[in-house]
Amino acid sequence: MSRAARLTTTSYAILSLLAVQPWSSYELTQQMDRSLGRIWPRAASKLYEEPKKLVDHGLARGRTESVGARERTVYSISAKGRRALSGWLTEPGEGPVLSFEQLLQVGFAEHGTRADALATLAATRAWAQERNAGNLAAALAYQSGEGPFQQRAAQNVLTGRFLTDYYRMVAEWADWATAVVQQWPDDPRQAAPDQDDVDETVRRASW
């Protein structure tokens, strides 16, 4: 009886998926690619490891199936797991945590060239556009009532709107920043801010 390690947000994220339906670990990795990864990204190997922890805690059951000479495990939530999930939802969760390397690079652009900064901003813009494309496809599916898990539509609309606004904000920022950096002199160390941009920032932060 190994003492099961304590539950993390990742545990509850996976438990939440199991509350929708049973999944194998590989199927969980697909959900990670499609949806969960946008707000709680984790490596595939976590999705093989974490469900075992849920089983140790009695929050899920693992059912072994055969695929040829090979086995696979399909996990499903238990009654105790559903209670644990409800409990988690009453707890104060963490606010958004952002890790944004490209913004770091732009924020210290004075140690590189203007071209470096513009390339980084172009990558940010492309990132937002690509993410938005996938998100739009999902939104369109829901719009025509064809999205998966229709019984979860009300919740998906909330997260979908967040991601929509988020990607849009990133793209608009990248466009604006690109225009600003294009006005910089060749040497970014000589760049000075436009007072209008500062004023506009203050205005946008005043609410």
Partner DNA sequence: TTCTTCATGTAATTAGTTACATGATTGA
Partner DNA sequence: TCAATCATGTAACTAATTACATGAAGAA
Decide which of DNA, a second copy, none touches 24; Cβ closer than 5 to 8 Å per partner kind: DNA
**Closest distance between a second copy and the C-beta of residue 7, in Å?**
13
Binding of residue 117 to a second copy (CB under 8 A):
yes
Site for DNA in 4-23 (CB under 7 A): 5-6, 8-10
Which CB, 49 or 175, lies closer to DNA? 49
Q: Write the CA distances from 116 to 102, 105, 187, integer angstroms.
A: 11, 9, 11
Q: How far is the CB of 1 from DNA (least distance, A)?
A: 17
Strand partners, 67: 70
Q: Select the span of 47-55, 59-67, 68-76, 119-127 touching a second copy (CB under 8 A).
A: 119-127
Angle between helices 9-20 and 44-56 (to 10 degrees): 80
Q: What is the Cα–Cα distance from 42 to 11, expressed in whole angstroms?
A: 11
Residue 57 as a binder of a second copy (CB under 8 A): the answer is no
- Residue 31 exposed, middle or buried by CB count within 10 Å (0-12, 13-18, 19+): middle
Does 165 contact a second copy by CB under 8 A?
Answer: yes
In angstroms, give the least distance from the CB of 83 to a second copy. 10
Q: Which of 1, 2, 67, 205 binds DNA (CB under 7 A)?
A: 67
Note whether 86 and 34 are within 8 A (CB). no
Count of residues that interact with a second copy, criterion CB under 8 A: 95
**Given candidates 1, 2, 69, 90, which one binds DNA under the rule CB under 7 A?**
69
Candidate residues 19, 49, 114, 134; the one interacting with DNA per rule CB under 7 A: 49
Half-sphere exposure of 102 (CA within 13 A, CB side): 17
Contacts of 88 (CB under 8 A, 6+ apart): 12, 15
Distances from the Cα of 70 to the Cα of 39, 45, 98, angstroms: 33, 18, 40
Please give the residue ranges that form the binding site for DNA (CB under 7 A): 5-6, 8-10, 24-27, 29-30, 41-46, 48-49, 52, 67-73
